[in-house]
Amino acid sequence: MANQPRKRKPTTAHADLTPGARRAKAAAARDAQRRAERRRTLLVRSAAGLLGLALVGGVTAVAAAQHGSGAPSSSAAAAMPGQPRTTADGRTTAAPWDAPADASAAVAAAGLPMLGAEGTVEHSHAHLDVYLDGKPVAVPALIGIDEGAQRVSPLHTHDTSGVIHIESPVKADFTLGQFLTEWQVSVSADHIGNASTDATHTLTAYLNGKPVTGDPAAITLGAHDEIALVYGTAAENAQLSVPSSYSFPSGE
């Protein structure tokens, strides 16, 4: 009898991964899928609006062409502030702080417009870490995104990674104060939320691992900046390793 070929046992890409690594990989995949779905929805809404305008008259075809090339509309440019706010207004309650229920109102408080699609003229990312009393505080997903209205701020988050997406239809400077106001968390040189500095507690802002003096809200967000807000006692803060950089995903 001819020898039969030996059947191989099936293998998977996850065979060498620990259960924790598999869960982390699956969570990352779900976050990426949610970001992609939100972006597709916003793009579809924007494209539908442009199509409707094109049916009204030929003039809007020019606007559609400008949109496709990334050129800013006059209304988007006019809605952007001439100077970004350098203060952070919002809640003075204890952490954690969820994303505001009314994202559009919070974005308006920051002085920024809500857009029908993410801008492409200014496109970069920064990262924010927050530590209170020696423990990390999560930066929530969907800051600056109104899912009900399908509108998005030039400053927003897609997930809880702490990555701040800067996606504007015009070139502009953006500050930590604008983002924190969108988050609706009050921050200044002497407090964050309800945590105030005193004889034993300090609040220090770090930019790329180096301490920054003055109001943290005045920090300008640069491409791939790592920002950390650290509040606590000397003993609590000594246990932390303040990051000087962040490993951004490929393409960000």
3-state secondary structure 197-252: CCCCCEEEEEECCEEECCCHHHCECCCCCEEEEEEECHHHHHCCCCCCCCCCCCCC
Residue 185 lies in a domain: yes
Residue 252 lies in a domain: no
CA neighbor of 231 nearest in space, from 104, 94, 110: 94
CA distance 176 to 170: 18
Residue 173 lies in a domain: yes
Q: Which amino acid would we find at residue 102?
A: D
- Is the pLDDT at 56 greater than 90? The verdict is no
The more confidently predicted of residues 61 and 205 is: 205
Domain with 190, as residue range(s), is 70-238
Residue 63 lies in a domain: no
- Is the pLDDT at 89 greater than 70? The verdict is yes
Residue 135 lies in a domain: yes
Q: Read off the pTM.
A: 0.74
Residue 249 lies in a domain: no
Residue 52 lies in a domain: no
**What's the total number of domains in the chain?**
1
Q: For residues 217-228, give the mean pLDDT.
A: 98
Residue 87 lies in a domain: yes
